[in-house]
Amino acid sequence: MGNSEYAPGSICNLQPRTSAGEVDEFLAITDYENEADKLVHVRSLIPGEFAPGFGLCMLMRRLDQPLPSHLPPSDITTTLRSLFTNHLNLRSSPRKSFFEWLRRLSPDEREQERLDDFITNPVSTLYVSRALGLNTVR
């Protein structure tokens, strides 16, 4: 890095990458191989709060909830392959919020009950993570 100087409190941000083989395997398992290299925009589907618009009419406009900082901005085009390689961790254990979102989206009552179990019993979540092979080193 040459003669770089760092001040006390400097921060280094390291962004891990997922290997091409793991991404290809994930795309095959999820049946997204044909979609992997198509251009997409990542946008928030969660509506934000209403805020005053600008202009003569002062209409109210909806501000979308911002995307997490590790994702590319919504005005940048990317691909699923790039997202899975550079921005998303395919090996991470699902967090409680993951199961909460699945529960909200599930139309099946039995599935909702099972997801409620994952949400309220962290041991179940740990079991699922290990059963799926998450957080394992290959």
Q: How high is the pLDDT of residue 2?
A: 56
Q: How high is the pLDDT of residue 129?
A: 57
Closest CA to 134 of 83, 95, 80, 87: 95
What is the C-alpha to C-alpha distance for residues 82 and 87, in angstroms, rounded to an integer?
Answer: 7
State pTM to two decimals: 0.57
State the average pLDDT over residues 105-123: 82
Closest CA to 113 of 127, 103, 123: 103
State the average pLDDT over residues 79-85: 93
Per-residue pLDDT tens for 8-41? 888 887 778 899 999 999 999 989 999 999 998 8
Res 65 pLDDT > 70: no
Let me know: does 87 contact 70? Beta carbons within 8 Å. Answer: yes
- Provide CB contacts within 8 A for 107, sequence distance 6+: none
